[in-house]
Structure 1
Amino acid sequence: MSHDLSYEAATVPIRGDLVAAHQRAWRRLAQPGTWWTGAQRVAIAAETRQAVTCRLCQLRQTAVTPYAVSGQHDHLGELSELIIDVIHRVRMDASRLTASWYNQVIDNGLSDAAYVEIVGVIATIIAIDTFTHAMGLAKHPLPSPVAGEPSRYRPDGAKPGMAWVPTIAPEDVVEADQMLYAELSGAHIHRALSLVPAEVLGFFDLDAVQYLPDAALRDFGREYRAITHAQIELLAARVSVLNQCFY
């Protein structure tokens, strides 16, 4: 399998910056990350796709509480039960995750930073898969993993308090992470994955082309896309409601 992806089958033109950003994300997905190897990152992406057809997840979605339904996930068998449950819960029932659930996950042996990287991989694969679905295209074959070890870099500026996981405020960025908010305001949504700076840089590289660059968000004197700021925000609000996103 290639480390790149193609939109040659698309029936409408796709902006070059979108194609380039998706290709960068696809290559990054296959490479060793901060806490997971390339093989593990690709396995996380594959399990994210698998979660959509999981019978246990579907039953839990219709229950008053996910804890009312027990059983085993339909999974691919490449990851531990703990990681599989995290992926399926984040992918299929994120609006009902709680701090107590997260704390139990950490108590069961997953580190806070490894959890953040899982969320980053999930967000990346969902963004690209949703795009192909909207375009009426098949999902891209997942890339072949790149050998190597994770960097295991934990930023000194990360502090607890804002979220379940430690995050980096703009004033706490250290020299090693000086590019973290170079093109971002450092708002809470930018800080969410900041315990793993590479995931912030990767996700918002996608966000800038699928949505808008941060500097363009409030530049109402210029329209950057084929639709207006107002139309973009109407779509964003509707999607947020459908996904039960309370941000």
Structure 2
Amino acid sequence: MSDETTPSVAETYRRAGYEIPEHLGSAHDRHWPALGGPGDWLDGETRRRIIIETRNARNCELCRRRSEAVSPNAVPGNHDATTDLDPAMVDAVHRVSVDAKRLSRTFAEAAMAEMGPGPYVEMVGVVACTWLMDVFAWALGVDEPGVPERRPGEPVGEIPEGTGDVGAWVPQELEKVRANVTRALSYAPLTNGSWRGLVNEHYSRGEQFGHLVWDRALSRPQVELVAARTAALNECFY
């Protein structure tokens, strides 16, 4: 039996010949494994299965046919699920993963009626983190990071203090201290921490977001051009 341990995500990048910034590799090594542990509403195994279904949705025949239809609701059928997640969760994961631009309040409310607002919000966060990690790997030409190992423990299971109805699709922090996008997943603080932790290192860098001049490889205008073009191509008009 080999004594060699599984390399960290950042080490995988380095072995492929990429010397990515230390802050970025550290964020990946910290937040990706955390998704294998319990969150606020879901246990570690459920979160792992959401990652698996997020990736599986990219090759789902039902999702493909729905993407070609005027409305996804016009195409009935069953998803090509590879996990034993509840069918409502599978449908939500697949829809959020590959057809996010056509989500609606009606869809979100129906999904939350099935699983509850907490699990729905946490699921969205896990899907978002998975896409960030996978697209970064694709850009480098390396394999997607392996599904995080399961960590034992139970979800918190408590409504976060200071959250409620703010008129959005899901409950959020009642007090807005920054942009709405920073509190969108606040009903699942642990997952939101992973998501915001990754976003901060890839893009906003905390307080630097308020600065017009960034001392990075790309200037602030260049970064915003990439961000705006990427959003437009994905039909995200936030």
Gapped regions of structure 1 (runs ≥ 5): 172-184
| Aligned partners of 2:36 and 2:148 also within 8 Å | yes
Per the alignment, residue 219 of structure 1 pairs with 211
C-alpha distance in structure 2 between counterparts of 1:116 and 1:162, whole Å: 15
C-alpha distance in structure 2 between counterparts of 1:141 and 1:106, whole Å: 29
**Greater share of residues in helix:** 2
Normalising by structure 1, report the TM-score.
0.89
Per the alignment, residue 201 of structure 2 pairs with 209
Per the alignment, residue 111 of structure 2 pairs with 105
Specify whether residues 68 and 3 from structure 1 end up closer, same or farther in structure 2 by C-alpha distance, changes over 3 A only: farther
Amino acid of the structure 1 residue aligned with 2:193? L
Query: SS of the counterpart of 1:123?
Result: helix
Pair 1:154-2:159 in alignment: yes
Per the alignment, residue 127 of structure 1 pairs with 132
Aligned residues: 232
Give the Å deviation of 1:3: 8.9
C-alpha distance in structure 2 between counterparts of 1:106 and 1:21, whole Å: 30
Per the alignment, residue 24 of structure 1 pairs with 30
Specify whether residues 2 and 162 from structure 1 end up closer, same or farther in structure 2 by C-alpha distance, changes over 3 A only: farther
Gapped regions of structure 2 (runs ≥ 5): none
C-alpha distance in structure 2 between counterparts of 1:200 and 1:169, whole Å: 15
Specify whether residues 244 and 143 from structure 1 end up closer, same or farther in structure 2 by C-alpha distance, changes over 3 A only: same
Aligned-residue identity in percent: 35
Give the Å deviation of 1:10: 2.7
**Greater than 4 Å deviation, 4+ residue runs:** none
Pair 1:35-2:41 in alignment: yes
| Aligned partners of 1:3 and 1:27 also within 8 Å | no
What is the Cα-based RMSD across aligned positions, in Å? 1.6
C-alpha distance in structure 1 between counterparts of 2:191 and 2:20, whole Å: 25
Deviations 1:131-189 (A, max 9, x none): 00001111111121011111112113112133111110336xxxxxxxxxxxxx52100
Per the alignment, residue 190 of structure 2 pairs with 198
Deviations 1:186-231 (A, max 9, x none): 21001100111222221111111111213112312x4232010000
Normalising by structure 2, report the TM-score.
0.92
Amino acid of the structure 1 residue aligned with 2:190? A
Pair 1:229-2:220 in alignment: yes
| Aligned partners of 2:166 and 2:174 also within 8 Å | no
C-alpha distance in structure 1 between counterparts of 2:15 and 2:174, whole Å: 42
| Aligned partners of 1:170 and 1:186 also within 8 Å | no
C-alpha distance in structure 1 between counterparts of 2:45 and 2:86, whole Å: 14
User: 94, 97, 113: which one pairs with 1:88?
Assistant: 94
Deviations 1:59-98 (A, max 9, x none): 1111111112111111113211110000000011111111
Query: SS of the counterpart of 2:112?
Result: helix
Give the Å deviation of 1:39: 0.8
Amino acid of the structure 1 residue aligned with 2:149? S
C-alpha distance in structure 2 between counterparts of 1:93 and 1:194, whole Å: 23
C-alpha distance in structure 1 between counterparts of 2:51 and 2:84, whole Å: 11
